[in-house]
Amino acid sequence: MDVVLDNVRGLLNSTVDASTKIPAGYAPSWFERTWLSLFDGRNELLTFTLVAFLMHELVYFGRYLPFWACDHIPALRKYKIQDSRPVTPEMQMRCFRSLMFSHFVIEGPLMLGFLPIAQLAGIRTTEVPLPGWQEMCTQIAVFFVLEDFWHYWIHRLFHWGPLYRRVHKVHHEFSAPFGMTAEYAHPLETVIFGQGTIGGPILYCQLVGSVHAVTMFTWIALRLFQAIDAHSGYDFPWSLHNFLPFWAGADHHDYHHAAFVNNFASSFRWWDSIFGTDAKYHAHKARLAEQRACKKAN
């Protein structure tokens, strides 16, 4: 703890000199110069937190906008999974107000406290060269697998009676979810599930090698894309699970909200398949297929 506090004090009392971050003889790319310019002459801790927070808000609400638009395009309504349960402005506003509290009061302070610990774990922030795409893709793939494993077991735990009633029930207030409900949750749930997102990169640093903040931000952006898509309530012909059968997506997670059982994983289907927590989901899909076949025959 003393080491963390010393790092916090050092971060608070210093500014970044970008010229010292460039190795001798190295010519940084345009993106690398732009990245360093965000921090140059500024406090690294506060700048990192601000960049992280703004990125989160832009990606979160920006990713929701296409699904919001779908709600107002009649031709796309046929792809709505629970079409009989429309999203109302009142529901959206209630969700938005809760998210503003969560983002500013819960997640913002967590972002502020992340950097001192992350740097000690081995996460790089202002160093160049930035990682190549092969390194980033490999690390992000590992992060997805680690987060999914964490999410599966913690999610099952949150469906245990006392924890469900006191904590997880908040998230299930929307039994027909829409994209913005991805982070609509009790504060304790927000903190615990969030450890799966930041814990993967930290664990990777400890066991494999360093991770750059650019990779971290890319990972978080993709995780937000996944979470909002899973809660979108839309299953399109171009949805990812139609091309990658092990991907969960909205088709998988929407059933969890509608039935309050099964399908506990976040990104992939394999844990639910291995541990048998998708049996009711598959029975439901079989019934729907049978109903469609009967209608087509008539």
Per-residue pLDDT of 194-228, as tens digits, reads 999 999 999 999 999 999 999 999 999 999 999 99
Contact present, 35 and 128 (Cβ < 8 Å): yes
- Which tokens is 8 given? 């916090």
**Helix axes of 30-39 and 44-70: crossing angle, nearest 10 degrees:** 120
For the chain, report the end-to-end CA distance as a whole number of angstroms: 70
C-alpha to C-alpha distance for 192 and 147, rounded to whole angstroms: 12
Give residue 3's pLDDT: 66
| More confident position, 5 or 22 | 22
Contact present, 110 and 191 (Cβ < 8 Å): yes
C-alpha to C-alpha distance for 36 and 220, rounded to whole angstroms: 20
Q: Who contacts 161 (Cβ-Cβ below 8 Å, separation ≥6)?
A: none
Give residue 204's pLDDT: 96
pLDDT tens digits along 149-201 = 999 999 999 999 999 999 999 999 999 999 999 999 999 999 999 999 999 99
- 16 forms bridges with which residues in the sheet? 40
Contact present, 252 and 233 (Cβ < 8 Å): no
| More confident position, 1 or 250 | 250
Q: What percent of the chain has pLDDT over 90?
A: 88
Does 36 have pLDDT greater than 70?
A: yes
C-alpha to C-alpha distance for 246 and 297, rounded to whole angstroms: 31
Does 279 have pLDDT greater than 70?
A: yes
Span of 5-14, 63-72, 262-271, 273-282 with lowest mean pLDDT: 5-14
Q: Is 78 exposed, middle or buried (0-12, 13-18, 19+ CB in 10 A)?
A: exposed
Q: What percent of the chain has pLDDT over 70?
A: 97
Give residue 291's pLDDT: 87
CB atoms within 10 A of CB 280: 13
147 φ/ψ angles, rounded to the nearest 5 degrees: -65, -40
Give residue 4's pLDDT: 63
- Mean pLDDT to the nearest integer, 225-240: 97
For residue 150, the Cα-to-chain-centroid distance in whole angstroms is 13
C-alpha to C-alpha distance for 1 and 6, rounded to whole angstroms: 9
Does 10 have pLDDT greater than 80?
A: no
**Helix axes of 108-121 and 44-70: crossing angle, nearest 10 degrees:** 120
C-alpha to C-alpha distance for 172 and 232, rounded to whole angstroms: 14
